[in-house]
A and B are shown apart, each in its own frame.
Chain A
Amino acid sequence: MKSEEREEYLKEYDEKKKKGVPFWPDIIFKDVLVSFLLFLILVALAYFLGSSLEEIADPSDANYTPRPEWYFLFLFQLLKFFPGDLEVVGVIVLPVIAIIFLILLPWTDRSKRRHPSGRPVVTGITVAGLVAAIFLTVQAIEEAPLPASATAEGDRVAALYVENCAGCHGPTVIVAPGTDLFAVISAGTHEGMPSWNSDLSADEIDALVGFLLAPNGNEVFAAACAECHTLDQLIEADAIDLRSALELGTGFAPHADAAIPDWKGLLSAAEQAQLLNFLTAPDGQRLWTQLCAACHGRSVAVSGDEAALRDLIVKGGGHLDMPAFGGTLVDTDIQALAIYVMDQTAYPAGEGLFAQHCSSCHAQRVPTAGSLDEAVAAIARGGAHEDMPVWGEILTDEQIGALVAYVFQAADLPDLAGGEDLFAQNCAACHGELGEGGPNPARAGDIIAPISTAEYLRTRDDQTLRAIVSQGQPNFGMSPFGDSFGGPLNDEQIDTIVAFLRAWEADPPVELPPDVPAVPQSTSSGREVYQQLCAQCHGDRGQGGIGTAFGEQAWQSANSDSAIFDAINLGHEATAMIAWGEILTSQQIEQLVAYIRTLNSSGSATGAPTFVGDVLPIFQASCAACHGSLGGWTGTNYEDALNTGEGGPTILPGDPDNSRLVQTLVGTHPDGIVMPPSGALSDTDVQTIVDWIAAGAPER
């Protein structure tokens, strides 16, 4: 405002004042009246609504749904529009802009105009800001109990969402691309969100991730699948089966007799992706465990860049194992196959050829190619495919993205899964599964203190832990584990264990020493002493483990009673087998020898292993990921396990040595095939399978 404008304003204002009214009593009357009304309203609110007081604050109750006071609701709601790294925009940038706008208002609006119609910009911004704040507040209030779809019966995941997430997030969550949702949910951290790790299982978090990334997935599920399937059924289903069911319609064997429509035509590509994301959450770690670990092991390692890895996953191994049919089949057969592959209706006769030559690997999913020529070339040339499925045809983009991200992330981290395995194999027998310790098997009356307390880990650096594992603590009965001291572990494995121990420090599983069971009495029977002292290494029925498997016939016949007595009495240097003679009486050792003589890991004590009880779990854990959905030998049911296989039965009941299964497991197969590709099964598992076959491969 110029100075003459200022003077003019003051003059006009003086005029108006003269024509006005005195503050007392005219103006003050209105003020007092309004204030009195305000007071009445407040008293009425205090009387009729009161002021609530909820339960006393409980910091451990992460399930409480916090709601800010109503005048902060619009800010709270605003944050929902700025997910992930954009948070700062909603929290800081916008509020600061608003405050600066207010402070600078007299200097940004310098005209002498005062009527709102003469200042459209300022009036407009003010009204828009007010409307936005009111809108956000109303939205926040309305969203509180949501979402409506949650009430749909049986929608377990939506119910989970409502129970745990909707209180803060309303009916939907906007997720920034590339967010590791699983990590966000399980760790919490962002915007005051608590960690859900302890309240939700990994499966539930998975389901939530799927729900969030595919909010309509549950509707597609309800419309297409819910009539025949429960949600649990399909969430547990194999990714390959899900994709096959979607693409093959009634061509998918389990759907052969089902009266179902052609999903592929009925559901749009987006809906299919939503459904698959919903059922198999795009969570890299879980996908790795389910799909990759069977062949690649639990330890994640990667070389090359992200694009290369993505390409590898999408294309699968690209058919490395596929034989070049160019030399095996005549040209006309190749041509016929190619035509069939390109269009199954054009040449139905190709089905026979496909079943004969291709189904063992491709199962029922007929692959396709860009053109007939490409198909001919691919069949004739054979190619890549190290048994690795073409995941690009099976997983959704989100799932592949999550998998790639996980591999890179996990490869950089200490190999905790591997460390856990190593710890379980080598340390847990004495230190307990969680490092809680317990009675010292090497020294009567001694207690192994917990090694997983915060105090223990804080007071020992990695170097010290490494030295303890590697060199052992002979004074306390701990034998050396490092291979340079005669133990079983190399430096890398010890580092892995140390990293695993170190990971306990942040969240120690053990707070207090456990209760200690009594030391064996001198009157204990051989069996009791064995179960208490020997079983943790040698197995409860002598099936072995860390220590020798003396349930085996060969061992029993190779050792005399006195040799066994001496071994127990004197121990073996450089192993965890200590000289028990210092702890046990001669009489106890004699009882032990007698008891060990009765052990027979494949024999009468517990009965022979059965398919259903002992073998099937091994097959499912270690074989089914590839065998089954990819064709070839199938071990997921008794009939198939005995009857399928390339070039003859894989299992010869009663003859473990000549069974192809055993040969591939122990590495005696004439063609040098070794299973599983990720690394040998544990000795116990192999022994169970051998014993099972030797016993005639009984079903139950």
Chain B
Amino acid sequence: MATRFGDWLNERSGWRAAYTMVFLRKIPKINWAYTLGSATLFAMIIQIVTGILLTLYYVPDPQLAYASVGYITNELPFGWLIRGLHHWGASAMVLLVVLHMVRVIIYGAYKYPREFTWITGVALLLLTFSFGFTGYLLPWDQRAYWATVVGTQIGEVTPVVGDTLRAVMLGGEEISGLTLSRFYGAHVWVLPSVLLLLVGIHIYLVIRNGITSVPKRGE
């Protein structure tokens, strides 16, 4: 029965070829450092799932944001777990992305034929930091507010466009409800869209080109 359904579906989707290509492909012998990429992917999935759950309760409004985060943390059943995972998952993401990148550099894995994979990886690193920066403001507590004040003012030093950049980010001269909306929009809609696109390309390239072997001395 299952086989017949599988055949039926395969005729219409070619899933067996995809399955073979993804799961049954042969991989050179590698070590534990090669799990950093999949761990990063897993951390990202945690962030997406917990992030979606958080949006169910979070209100991106200066009057209500703090209270809604308080509600999630202290009253919502397992809210502490959802927010805790999202909070610590963010740190884990940054740490894993950096370690993953270091591994790639040390093994020379950015070389032919994986240059494009590398470029998408650099973009994903910057994206991860952007997630961290925009997400930091959302709880709307003292630490969130003042870190953003300092962060955006530091950016203002940028020659020529600094002032404009800050005004666009904040939606004015000062941090306001508009700033919160913008950071929320970026954190929840803009950045994730770009992230999923880039991650998709990144993983496709990894499967297509295969993973590098551990270089031997002299190689």
Q: Which residues of A contact B (CB under 8 A)?
A: 1, 6, 9-10, 13, 16-24, 26-28, 30-31, 33-35, 38-39, 41-43, 45-47, 49-51, 53-59, 61, 64-72, 79, 87-88, 91-92, 99, 102-103, 105-107, 109, 112-119, 122-123, 126, 130, 168, 191-192
Contacts and interface: CB of A to CB of B under 8 A. Distances in A.
A39 B142 contact: no
Interface of B: 22-30, 32, 34-35, 38-39, 42-43, 46, 62, 66, 69-70, 73, 80-81, 83-89, 91-92, 94-96, 101-102, 105-113, 115, 118-119, 122, 125-126, 129, 132-133, 136, 139-147, 149-155, 157-159, 174-175, 210, 212-213, 215-219
Contacts of B139: 53
A114 B112 CA distance: 10
A55 B142 CA distance: 6
A26 B26 CA distance: 10
Given A16-B29, A34-B32, A105-B118, 4 more contacts: A46-B84, A56-B141, A59-B145, A115-B108
Given A58-B142, A192-B153, A23 B119 contact: no
B132 A71 contact: yes
A57 B66 contact: yes
Contacts of A1: 111-112
Contacts of A6: 112-113
B175 A192 contact: no
B154 A79 contact: yes
A56 B154 contact: no
Contacts of A107: 115
Nearest to A93: B159
B122 A103 contact: yes
A370 B120 CA distance: 72
Counting chain A CB atoms within 10 Å of each CB, the highest count among B89, B94, B150 belongs to B150
A46 B122 CA distance: 29
Given A23-B25, A115-B219, A103 B119 contact: yes
A38 B43 contact: yes
Contacts of A65: 146
Contacts of B126: 99
A43 B85 contact: yes
A430 B218 CA distance: 91
Nearest to A21: B27
A443 B6 CA distance: 100
B153 A118 contact: no
A69 B129 CA distance: 11
Nearest to B137: A57
Given A31-B35, A56-B141, A116-B107, A22 B132 contact: no
A297 to B, nearest CB: 38
A532 B39 CA distance: 81
Contact of B35 (A34, A49, A118): A34
Contacts of A51: 73, 80, 83-84, 86-88
Q: Which of B139, B140, B212 has the most CB of A within 10 A?
A: B139
A192 B24 CA distance: 54
Contacts of B153: 191-192
A46 B46 CA distance: 13
A91 B217 CA distance: 39
A677 to B, nearest CB: 46
A560 B181 CA distance: 77
